[in-house]
Structure 1
């Protein structure tokens, strides 16, 4: 009898504790550096979110500079991190690939340098800056993604080499009205990613993309209605080079500045000219020199381009239309 009473007491306490979690609901959590919100750091707000939520949870971040190295773990979903103002709400960190790790004394390497790593699915970022502010001493990732169905709306991604790493094949990402800048291969990885009406700024003469699209994945990076710009001294930039053999990148309906090299694309390794999937359609601007492009890239026909929409691109094992 005593054991039964003890068990009932523990169960009651558990239920009471669960019910007392004031953050287990769809209400917005407010983060503010000055202490006027629910939390002072974004990490604290992420920590109180319930695993595998079936409702939409907003973490509203007031203006400020948040020096944090963040992970949204794989057991979190349906979270939106919304900044007050994209230019004034900044998450920043400064790891780079050649920093020695404390636990091993060996260089950190590219894939641990992220400012924000997203492992969970159905995550949204709005009106916020993600920055890696390290010195140019090695690769330095600002955004590292592994989750599926990720939305980035009116965000800024700032870094130099390897700014945005889309790190998992067959995951789907949609960037709208975003700004991304960097030096070398600053958008790279195997994911399916659509960039709509984004501004892409090259900071040195180098490469914009480095797709590593798997052979069996029909799409990789698609830039639609985007604007490619550069610093005034930058005059020799490639649209991309294939990090792996079957890299897929398409620029369509976009403005290509005069800093884009006439040949457009680089092979990285000679044999990849046989496998890389590099395409363009209906672009405009000084950087459009279709007759001087490398012979192993393609200009799509109107009929081919009409078939490439977010709905078709993002229908893999399940349907997802980020426009709905």
Structure 2
């Protein structure tokens, strides 16, 4: 199946192609080729074994501009989990060579605005660009319950929660506040993680902010029972944020697990590395570790005492095969 905005393919919109696509199987996935163009659509996928492949990561662009402070006709707010540009809500999906972007704007103005809501098992993103401001990438499932409201809202609220495995390979992920967050077991290999500068001169007056803190890269909500949470391997942490203004992460839930392995960290990373999000009790339960990292932001001399360095024998356990061995068999290395 081919999608092209000029009408030269089978469909003009990606959603139309998804709606007409048969669910694939483990032996034969349904392939949707997407030609370069800007597709302004709110994409919703809940069919397994689909393979979405764009013509190019820079030229095949899915974009929308929903946001948390937007309201439905009845006046109720969208909140975070209705704000996505694209929902990938099925098992065994592969997404390659495309950009998924939320164009709503800065979180100070619009609140959370997801580019990608990814909730399933055995999902792989390869050579993709995920771009937003606050809460760019949500790696489902949702935590057990909200901290402040009676429900999370959004299309996946109330569904059975299963912690899926996700692999982001050679991707570019851009945002500022908590822009990689959620409960999945997710591995990021050879990715560029770009921290946007939200402390700019054009910031509106009277916007509440901490002038010394530009953002947090991760906000994991790893279940206590999961042996791994977020694992970043050979990634580059870049950005235009001021020096010493970005944390590696803070715990959305108290058993957050994040590992940075053989990564390069720019000068925008804060010396202490990690933030407890005003939850001092989480310092005894999180697993925040680094190993073999380099660059001006990788100096561990002033890291918080409740983060750690992996010894060699433990670092050897952080391989894709071992991380993904939980659950049904998955051989993502053979995906093509």
Larger relative contact order, structure 1 or 2 (CA cutoff 8 Å, min sep 6) = 2
Separation in structure 1 between the aligned mates of residue 246 and residue 315 of structure 2, nearest angstrom = 24
Asked whether the equivalents of residues 242 and 268 of structure 2 are also in contact (C-alpha less than 8 Å), the reply is no
Asked whether the equivalents of residues 150 and 174 of structure 1 are also in contact (C-alpha less than 8 Å), the reply is yes
**CA drift at 1:235:** 3.8
Separation in structure 2 between the aligned mates of residue 317 and residue 245 of structure 1, nearest angstrom = 24
Q: Report the secondary structure of 1:207's partner residue.
A: strand
Runs of 4+ more than 6 Å apart: none
Residue in 2 that maps onto 1:117: 87
If the length of structure 1 is used for normalisation, what is the TM-score? 0.88
Separation in structure 1 between the aligned mates of residue 2 and residue 24 of structure 2, nearest angstrom = 20
Asked whether the equivalents of residues 276 and 282 of structure 2 are also in contact (C-alpha less than 8 Å), the reply is yes
Residue in 1 that maps onto 2:236: 227
If the length of structure 2 is used for normalisation, what is the TM-score? 0.85
List gaps (5 residues or longer) in structure 1.
1-28
What count of residue pairs does the alignment treat as equivalent?
Answer: 293
Q: 1:95 to 1:125 in 2, by over 3 A?
A: same
Q: Report the secondary structure of 1:186's partner residue.
A: strand
Asked whether the equivalents of residues 243 and 269 of structure 2 are also in contact (C-alpha less than 8 Å), the reply is no
Separation in structure 2 between the aligned mates of residue 80 and residue 165 of structure 1, nearest angstrom = 20
Residue in 1 that maps onto 2:75: 105
Asked whether the equivalents of residues 24 and 50 of structure 2 are also in contact (C-alpha less than 8 Å), the reply is no
Asked whether the equivalents of residues 186 and 231 of structure 2 are also in contact (C-alpha less than 8 Å), the reply is yes
Separation in structure 1 between the aligned mates of residue 222 and residue 94 of structure 2, nearest angstrom = 23
**CA drift at 1:234:** 5.3
Q: Deviations over 1:241-284 (max 9, x none)?
A: 01001000000000011111111000111111011110000000
Matched, 1:88 2:81: no
Separation in structure 2 between the aligned mates of residue 252 and residue 32 of structure 1, nearest angstrom = 39
Separation in structure 2 between the aligned mates of residue 218 and residue 154 of structure 1, nearest angstrom = 27
**CA drift at 1:232:** 5.5
Asked whether the equivalents of residues 198 and 226 of structure 1 are also in contact (C-alpha less than 8 Å), the reply is yes
The structure 1 residue matched to 2:171, chosen from 164, 178, 196, is 178
- Looking at secondary structure, tell me which structure has more helix per residue: 1
Q: Deviations over 1:195-251 (max 9, x none)?
A: 000000001311000000010111000000000001164541100001001000000
Asked whether the equivalents of residues 203 and 234 of structure 1 are also in contact (C-alpha less than 8 Å), the reply is no
